[in-house]
Amino acid sequence: MTGVNEMRREFIPLSIPNFGIEEERNVLETIRTEQVSPNGTFVSAFEKKLGTYAKVPYVVACQSGTAGLHLAFLALGIERGSEVIVPTLTFIAAANAVRYVGAEPIFMDCDDFLNIDADKVQDFCERECFFDGEKLINKKTHAVVRAILPVHIFGNLANMERIMEIAQNYNLKVVEDATEAIGCYYMNGKYSGRFAGTIGDVGVYSFNVNKIITSGGGGAVLTTNELLARRCKFYSTQAKEDALRFVHGAIGYNYRMGNIQAAIAVAQLDKLETFIQIKKNNYEAYQSRGIKLFPFQKNIRSNYWFYSCITTQRDNLIEELKKNHIQSRPIWTLCHLQKPYLRNQNYYIEKASKYHAIVVNIPSSTNMSLDDIDAVSESLKDFLDIVNI
Ligand SMILES: Cc1ncc(COP(=O)(O)O)c(C=O)c1O
């Protein structure tokens, strides 16, 4: 621990793990009991614990959030040649998972909380497609639009009430990319009390190293549908139908979470509520130093995962922070501008381009000290006149 702290005095990272004796003890147990495969007891314990926490009956632990998104599309039977509505302002994994099953993403704009714009999704379905009572058909490509993939960005939540309504009206499946949103839930409306990732047909969490809780790498698929859960598990375990004779019923994947990852994840999940409180306190500590941060929605319980500020001098600010040994980053390059997707349809991308140019993520680790927050705030000070929303 001293080593890490010494390093952090010289460098303040964006978002790093926060481990303690509990993770160490669990990992030691996997080694001492020689239970390190996906059949180990921590994997099923983690699935059970996460199901209880998120109030869903079925959880399938897997290797990563990306694997979870792929499993979701496989389980839902999203066919080659069909289309899925995906936000352009997100990590590329969502679009890639659509491609993994041979479908094509249609890129959508974001709203003022950086989440998929539900109004534009509605507009797109209404104006650019026709619905024959069963299928939504894209007038331009003649492909069937099969699903919507809302992504909950940075600790804010997409408008699931609208998304689910649109999905119902047009017979679309919904896969929630809740990779960043574990611990977030709605506090009013139809889904009051429901956690991110538990409203659509399938939801996906990530436990990679920069997430609020981490297992090094890892993910989980959540659903209330037993058949979908069984399919996710089937595809994640090489589609094995007979474990003795190695009979495989389809093309499967080696996506199951391992026991060492699960051992860490179990200990981390116990700390999730504490981490959310720390994130909230640190967010408020920045604000109390005069740093106006991008807001978290008032009508949700946020997990305060990733802090952002707004600046018209994005690249200068990133450079200034780097000079002061502080890690920061701009938003991901928008998906519709990424090489593999240049030919894909996109629908009036406006706000995503605007926010991409002015949002900078700043350090938000749960183990950062008040000295760290002072140091980051000090570096942001010269930009304060423009760090305003
Ligand atoms: C929005 C979003 N989607 C998908 C992923 C993919 O998760 P993983 O890195 O666990 O594959 C991430 C995390 O990196 C993410 O932030």
The mean per-residue pLDDT over the stretch 303-312 comes to 96
Q: Please check the confidence at residue 7 and state whether its pLDDT lies above 70.
A: no
Q: Please check the confidence at residue 1 and state whether its pLDDT lies above 70.
A: no
**What is the Cα–Cα distance from 63 to 50, expressed in whole angstroms?**
15
Whole-number average pLDDT of the chain: 95
Q: Is 91 in the pocket of ligand 1 (CB under 6 A)?
A: yes
Probe ligand 1: pick from 64, 206, 210, 364, max atoms within 8 Å of CB? 206
Q: What is the pLDDT of residues 161-178, one digit of tens each?
A: 999 999 999 999 999 999
SS3 340: helix
The mean per-residue pLDDT over the stretch 299-320 comes to 96
Cα dihedral sign, 163-164-165-170:
positive
SS3 85: strand
Question: Which tokens in the block code for residue 314?
Answer: 């994005």
The mean per-residue pLDDT over the stretch 274-291 comes to 97
- DSSP per residue, 213-267: S--SS-EEEEES-HHHHHHHHHHHBTTEEETTTTEESS---B-BPPHHHHHHHHH
Distance linking the first and last C-alpha atoms of the chain: 37
Q: Sorting pLDDT into bands at 50, 70 and 90, what band is 382?
A: confident
**What is the Cα–Cα distance from 249 to 213, expressed in whole angstroms?**
34
CA of 305 to the centre of ligand 1 (A): 13
Q: Please check the confidence at residue 299 and state whether its pLDDT lies above 90.
A: yes
Q: Is 206 in the pocket of ligand 1 (CB under 6 A)?
A: yes
pLDDT for 383 equals 83
Q: Please check the confidence at residue 84 and state whether its pLDDT lies above 70.
A: yes
Atom from ligand 1 closest to the CA of residue 206: 10
Q: Is 93 in the pocket of ligand 1 (CB under 6 A)?
A: yes
Torsion of CA 29, 35, 36, 41, to 10 degrees: -90
Q: Is 255 in the pocket of ligand 1 (CB under 6 A)?
A: no
The mean per-residue pLDDT over the stretch 179-193 comes to 98
Hey, what long-range contacts does 350-353 have (CB within 8 A, 24 or more apart)? 350/109, 351/109, 351/110, 351/111, 351/112, 351/117, 352/87, 352/88, 352/89, 352/109, 352/110
Q: Please check the confidence at residue 381 and state whether its pLDDT lies above 90.
A: no
Q: What is the pLDDT of residues 314-362, one digit of tens each?
A: 999 999 999 999 999 999 999 999 999 999 999 999 999 999 999 999 9
Q: Please check the confidence at residue 3 and state whether its pLDDT lies above 90.
A: no
Residues in CB range of 201: below 8 A, 6 or more apart: 72, 76, 173, 174, 175, 223, 225, 228
The mean per-residue pLDDT over the stretch 301-309 comes to 97
Atom from ligand 1 closest to the CA of residue 64: 10
**What is the Cα–Cα distance from 83 to 64, expressed in whole angstroms?**
23
Q: Sorting pLDDT into bands at 50, 70 and 90, what band is 389?
A: low
pLDDT for 386 equals 58
Segment of 2-6, 250-254, 383-387 carrying the highest mean pLDDT: 250-254
Question: Which tokens in the block code for residue 381?
Answer: 């000070």
In the block, which residue shows the tokens 């926060």? 18
Cα dihedral sign, 267-217-206-301:
positive
Q: Please check the confidence at residue 384 and state whether its pLDDT lies above 70.
A: no
CA of 206 to the centre of ligand 1 (A): 6
Q: What is the pLDDT of residues 19-62, one digit of tens each?
A: 999 999 999 999 999 999 999 999 999 999 999 999 999 999 99
- DSSP per residue, 153-200: -BTB---HHHHHHHHHHHT-EEEEE-TT-TT-EE-SSTTTTPBTTSSS
